[in-house]
Amino acid sequence: KQARVQKRVYIETYGCQMNEYDTERILRLLESSNYLETKDAKEADFILINTCSVREKPEHKVYSALGRYQWLKEERGTIIGVAGCVAQQEGDRLLNRVPYLDMVIGTHAIPMLPQLLQKVECSGQRVCETGFDPEGNYLKTILPQKSPVVGSIRLDKVKSYVTIMQGCDHFCSYCIVPYVRGREKSRSSGEIIEEVKRLTEMGVKEVCLLGQNVNGYGKGLEEELRFAELLPRINETEGLHRIRFTTSHPADLSEELIQAFSRLPKLCEHIHLPFQSGSDRILKAMHRGYTKESYLEKIDRLKGVCPSIAV
C-alpha cells in the first residue's frame, strides 16, 4: 500500500481571537488530508490567509499578503487560499482580482475545507464558498482522537480559546460583523463542556470563551440555557483553574451574569465591555441599545459584587 505524501500548510492569521481559534480548527481539519503545519511559507504546499474585516485596512493587508506569495504559486505551484471575514465579504471579487488565488473560504465554510482543497488539488478548479449555514454545522467541535493537538490547543499551551457562539444580532450602524459572521448561533452546552474537559486533560488550565456577543449565548438552542447558566457548568470542570470570556455587549449584560463574578471561584475578575462613546446622541446613532447612564449603572453593579474587577 503506497504511503501518502506528507504535505505542509502555512497559515497567516489576522484579527481577533476568533480567527486564532478558527486557525487551530483548520489545522486539525487538514490533518485528515495529511497536512502538517509549517512556519515557513516557502515550504508550504498550501498557503491560507485567515483574514479580518474589522481591524484597520483589512482588504489592503490581504492583497499585500497575496502579492508576497505570488512567486510561490508561479515557481512551486503552491495552492493559495483566503479565509475569514474578508473572504466572506469579498467572495468572487477576490478571485476576479487575483488570478493566482485558488480558494475563497467564508466564515461558515471551514468544515468543508478538506473537500474544497481536494477539489483544487485534483482538478485545478478555483473555488469560492461563502454561503451561510443556518444549521450551525460550522460550529461543530473538531476533536481528533489520535493527535498531539485537540480542539484549539497545542501541547505547550496552558491557555486556550473555546468558541461558544458566533455572529451578532445587534447590527450596530458602523459594524460589519453580522454581515460576515452571520446572525447569533450558539453551540450546545454539551459540546462546549466536552471540549473544555478534553483541553484540561491535555494540560490547559485557563479557557477563554469566545463569541462576537457571548452575552447572547443560548439563541437557537433546543435547551433553554443562557450564558450565566453555562458558566457554572464550566466552572465544575476538574483541572480547570481559570475562566475568561470575550466579547460582551453591554445591552445584554444580565444581573445573573454580574452575580456570577461573586459566585464562581474560577471566573477571572475581568470583563471586556465596550463603551464605544460617552455621548447618548452618538450611542443612539450607533444603534448600541444603551445609554451612558445605563452602562455606568452596570459598571457600578459589577464593582458592587466584585470590587477588584478589571473593566
pLDDT reported for residue 181: 84
Does the pLDDT at position 149 exceed 60?
Answer: no
Of the pLDDT bands very low, low, confident and very high (cuts 50, 70, 90), residue 15 is confident
Does the pLDDT at position 3 exceed 80?
Answer: no
pLDDT reported for residue 139: 53
Bond into 247 cis (ω within 30): yes
Residue 65 Cα distances to 61, 124, 132, 212, angstroms = 6, 22, 26, 26
The mean pLDDT of 19-26, rounded to a whole number, is 88
Q: How far is CA 115 from the centre of its chain?
A: 21
The DSSP result for 118-150, as a single string, is HHHHHH---EEE----TT-GGG-----SSSS-B
Instruction: Name the more confident of 140 and 124.
Output: 124
**Phi, psi of 161, deg, nearest 5:** -90, 145
The runs of H, that is alpha helices, within the chain are 17-31, 58-76, 85-90, 92-97, 113-123, 177-181, 189-201, 227-235, 255-263, 280-286, 292-305
Contact in structure between 220 and 133 (CB atoms under 8 Å): no
Among the listed ranges 141-145, 190-194, 248-252, which one has the minimum average pLDDT value? 141-145
Q: Tell me: the pLDDT tens digits for 42-94?
A: 999 999 999 988 766 767 888 899 999 999 999 999 999 999 889 998 899 99
Identical topology for domains 7-129 and 137-305: no
Q: Give me 36's grid cell.
A: 502538517
CA atoms within 13 A on the CB side of 109: 24
Contact in structure between 106 and 88 (CB atoms under 8 Å): yes
Q: Tell me: the pLDDT tens digits for 200-258?
A: 988 899 999 999 999 999 987 888 899 999 999 999 999 999 999 999 999 999 999 99
The mean pLDDT of 3-17, rounded to a whole number, is 85
pLDDT reported for residue 294: 97
Q: Whole-model pTM?
A: 0.78
Q: Tell me: the pLDDT tens digits for 165-191?
A: 988 999 999 988 888 888 898 999 999
pLDDT reported for residue 152: 46
Architecture of domain 137-305: 2-Layer Sandwich (3.30)
pLDDT over 70 percentage in the chain: 90
Residue 228 Cα distances to 14, 235, 251, angstroms = 30, 11, 15
Q: Tell me: the pLDDT tens digits for 103-136?
A: 999 888 888 899 999 999 999 999 999 887 656 5
Among the listed ranges 28-37, 98-107, 208-217, which one has the minimum average pLDDT value? 28-37
* CATH classification for the domain delimited by 7-129, as one of 3.10.20.30, 3.40.50.12160, 3.20.20.100, 3.40.50.2020: 3.40.50.12160
Contact in structure between 260 and 232 (CB atoms under 8 Å): yes
Determine which helix (DSSP H) or strand (DSSP E) holds 12, and give its type and residue range.
strand 7-13
pLDDT reported for residue 55: 64
Does the pLDDT at position 146 exceed 70?
Answer: no
Q: Are strands 46-51 and 7-13 parallel, antiparallel or unpaired?
A: parallel
Of the pLDDT bands very low, low, confident and very high (cuts 50, 70, 90), residue 150 is very low
Share the mean pLDDT of the chain.
88
Which sequence spans correspond to the domains of the chain?
A: 7-129, 137-305
